[in-house]
Amino acid sequence: MNILLKSVTIVNGNTKNLHLKKRDILIKNGVIDAIETTIEPSGKTKVIDIKNLHVSLGWFDSGVSFGEPGYEERETIENGLLTAAKSGFTDVILNTSSYPTPDSASDIVYLKNAAKDQLTDLHPLGNLTVKGDGEVLAELYDMKNAGALGFYDYKHPMANANLLKIALQYAQNFDGLVFSFPLDKSISGKGIVNEGITSTKLGLKGIPSLAEELQIARDLFILEYTGGKLFIPTISTASSVKLIAVAKKKGLQVFCSAAAHNLVMTDSTLEDFDTQYKVMPPLRTAADVKALQKGVKNGTIDFVTSDHTPLNIELKHVEFDNADFGSIGLESTFGMLNELLGIEDTIELLTKGRSVFGIKEPELTVGQPANLSLFTTDDAYEFSEDQILSSSKNSIAIGKPMKGKVIGSIANNQLVLNK
């Protein structure tokens, strides 16, 4: 398939000679054939010529959840990857949120086979412990050999500090990446929202910032003792950012992410008791949001993730106490970040970090496979249910201001467009 992108603005800070320049890009059989001021189409070539069209390297999400296997009504792998492609993401890391959870090499092979021949590449994680129950380490080495890029008991904190220590020591033998969800459940108890003025006013059980920060402090002490590589997903508090910044200055191999919605929303949105805002970690205070934004800009926070979590309607349309945690986010992450940070910082965030997981970084140069995201930058709008592509509709972003729209993506010699 031949594709010609006409008069596209290239957003790629790694190639200064092309950054923010308008060019035509010709793609032949999945490979970038030419980048010129003007290219005339010839033969059977699909021409994409859209006003204000921009292009960057394909985007990467460090943590998404689909439903398959076990919860296909929430999201199949096929539709999840199509949603990702239409949302501009050409690589996604798949969380261990299915049923059964993947804790063996055969489970990893199943997930990779289910994702074959899609535009967006799926990179599965394996459980850190058997069934994610936090008691016995899973088959980490076998899963690594089968294609697992890290080990994570999805949103289940590791209560056993010694088991985390052993995991970090063992995984060093094969350069394994160990995840630890930042929550001390003995502190969080039955909390469901951030502990503070809003939770008190609404009469909702709170989760103190301390619950996150205490777990992170413990994990960083263990990492300093053991060495190895530790990933702390979806941090949400100001002190968490400080703890990780200090650890990085010490030279520890620690990486972290923040969910896009935790960068822009505070717990004040909970006043309507809308269960779409019930997420884990919870929405925090304005001071926390400001600290997260600063952490993203100075590099303390390595990734901004959609934290895409599709859920059945009956898991959200219940009383706030009984609703499940989670929101979809693939469709809204770009518009949310562009509204907050502007296009250059947004694209830098969405394209960096594959190397942490051992994924080859794409290049926007002639002769390289085309791995590209297509988007506009100036369209201002409010996100609505009509823009949801997922099978589930539990979006925290409905009604929120967005800037810029995703047109589609190109990868694996495939093109997916939203229009």
- For the annotated catalytic residues, the residue numbers are 307
Helix (H) or strand (E) holding 382: strand 380-382
Angle at 37 between CA 31 and CA 42, to 5 degrees: 55
Any idea what DSSP says for residue 115?
T
Q: What is the largest CA-CA distance in the chain?
A: 67
Least Cα distance to 59 among 300, 407, 339 occurs for 407
Helix (H) or strand (E) holding 187: helix 185-188
As a whole number of Å, the CA-based R_g of the chain is 21
Q: Give SS3 for 199.
A: helix
Reported for 107-115, long-range contacts at CB under 8 A and 24+ positions apart, including other chains, are 107/143, 108/143, 108/146, 108/147, 108/148, 109/146, 109/147, 110/69, 111/77, 112/146, 112/147, 114/68, 114/77, 114/78, 115/77, 115/81
Distance CA 268, CA 271 (A): 6
What is each CA distance from 389 to 219, 312, 331, 332, in whole angstroms? 37, 15, 7, 10
Q: Which tokens is 355 given? A: 């190397």
Asked if residues 332 and 88 have their Cβ atoms less than 8 Å apart, the reply is no
Within 10 A of 200 (CB to CB), how many other CB atoms are there? Answer: 10
Within 10 A of 136 (CB to CB), how many other CB atoms are there? Answer: 10
Q: Which tokens is 407 given? A: 């047109």
Least Cα distance to 33 among 53, 4, 6, 57 occurs for 4
